[in-house]
C-alpha cells in the first residue's frame, strides 16, 4: 500500500515509519510512506501557508493554493484510485470497519490540517473523504493521520506475524478485548484466573469470549446493539453477569 501525508510537519508524521509494526511493514516494502509539505508550494518570500479568516475571529486558516498544489503534486506520484482523506472533527467517525475498508485500497493520501483548519473550498475540490477520530480537538491533524495509518497498516496481509494476528484484536468481532495476564502468577496478592493456568485451550477460549462479552456489556453497551448475539454468546454473557453479582 502507498501512503502519502500532506503536512506542514512531515518530520512529525515520519516517526510512524520508524517504529514497531509500521516500521517493520516499511522495512519489508509492504508499504511506502511519503510526504509533501504545503510550504514547499508557496511562492512568496515569507512562504506563507496561512491567512486570516473571512468573517473575522481568532486563529488562522490554511490557504487554498499551497495545500491544493501539494495534494496535486502527491497525487501524480500515487496509484490511481487513492482517496484524499482530510482528518477533522467534522468527519465520519473512524472505527475498525473503516480501517478494514481503507486497508483494501492501493493507497491513501492524508491531509493533516493546522491552525483552525483548511479553506472549505479545498474540501469541495480536493478531498474525497473526511475522517474524525472522535469528539475532541487536536492542534493538528498529524496525530490523527498517524493513528489511522497505524490502524490500517496492521491489517495489511503479511504485516503481523501469526502470533500477533489481528484476527484476535478487540473490535475485529465488534467486541472489546478480554483481559491479559503475564508472569508472575501472584502480584500484590492478586492471582491470575485459574482457567488461564489450566492448559485447557477450549476452556480458555470460552473464558476469553465470556470476558469480552461481559466487558463490552458493562463498558460499551452500544457495541452489543450492533451485534446479534448467538445462543452461545447469550449463555456466556448470562454466566458473566451471574458471576459478577456473586
Q: Which of the residues 116, 128, 232, 243 is marked catalytic?
A: 116
Count of Cβ atoms closer than 10 Å to residue 50 Cβ: 17
By CB under 6 A, residue 117 contacts ligand 4GT:
yes
Q: Which of 144, 146, 166, 237 binds ligand 4GT (CB under 6 A)?
A: 144
169 in catalytic set: yes
CA torsion 42-45-48-52 (nearest 10°) is: -130
Give the footprint of ligand 4GT on residues 38-57 (CB under 6 A): none
- Cα–Cα dist 44/48, whole Å: 7
Q: Locate cell 454468546: which residue?
A: 233
By CB under 6 A, residue 114 contacts ligand 4GT:
yes
Residue count, binding to ligand 4GT (CB under 6 A):
15
- Cα–Cα dist 87/160, whole Å: 26
By CB under 6 A, residue 98 contacts ligand 4GT:
no
**Do residues 231 and 204 lie in contact, with contact meaning Cβ atoms separated by under 8 Å?**
no
**Do residues 89 and 136 lie in contact, with contact meaning Cβ atoms separated by under 8 Å?**
yes
Stretch that binds ligand 4GT, among 32-40, 110-118, 184-192, 215-223 (CB under 6 A): 110-118
Give the footprint of ligand 4GT on residues 156-195 (CB under 6 A): none
**Do residues 152 and 108 lie in contact, with contact meaning Cβ atoms separated by under 8 Å?**
yes
52 in catalytic set: no
- Catalytic residue numbers? 89, 116, 154, 169
- Residue ranges that bind ligand 4GT, judged by CB under 6 A: 87-89, 113-114, 117, 132-134, 136-138, 140-141, 144
Amino acid at each position: 500500500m502507498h501512503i502519502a501525508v500532506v503536512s506542514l510537519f512531515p518530520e512529525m508524521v515520519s516517526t510512524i515509519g520508524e517504529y514497531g509494526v509500521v516500521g517493520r511493514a516499511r522495512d519489508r516494502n509492504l508499504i511506502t510512506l511519503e510526504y509533501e509539505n504545503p510550504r514547499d508550494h508557496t511562492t512568496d518570500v515569507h512562504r506563507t501557508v496561512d491567512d486570516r479568516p473571512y468573517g473575522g475571529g481568532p486563529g488562522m486558516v490554511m490557504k487554498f493554493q499551497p495545500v491544493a498544489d501539494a495534494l496535486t503534486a502527491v497525487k501524480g506520484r500515487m496509484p490511481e484510485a487513492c482517496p484524499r482523506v482530510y482528518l477533522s472533527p467534522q468527519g465520519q467517525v473512524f472505527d475498525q470497519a473503516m480501517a478494514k475498508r481503507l486497508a483494501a485500497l492501493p493507497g491513501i493520501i492524508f491531509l493533516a490540517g493546522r491552525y483552525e483548519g483548511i479553506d472549505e473550498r479545498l474540501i469541495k475540490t480536493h478531498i474525497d473523504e473526511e475522517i474524525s477520530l472522535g469528539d475532541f480537538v487536536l492542534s493538528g491533524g498529524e496525530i490523527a493521520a498517524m493513528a489511522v495509518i497505524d490502524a490500517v497498516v496492521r491489517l495489511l496481509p503479511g504485516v503481523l506475524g501469526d502470533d500477533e494476528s489481528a484476527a484476535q484484536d478487540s473490535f475485529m468481532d465488534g467486541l472489546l478485548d478480554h483481559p491479559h495476564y503475564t508472569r508472575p502468577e501472584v502480584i500484590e496478592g492478586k492471582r491470575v484466573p485459574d482457567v488461564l493456568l489450566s492448559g485447557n485451550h477450549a476452556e480458555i477460549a470460552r473464558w476469553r469470549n465470556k470476558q469480552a462479552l461481559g466487558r463490552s456489556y458493562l463498558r460499551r453497551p452500544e457495541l452489543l446493539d450492533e451485534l446479534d448475539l448467538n445462543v452461545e454468546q447469550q449463555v456466556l454473557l448470562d454466566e458473566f453477569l451471574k458471576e459478577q453479582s456473586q
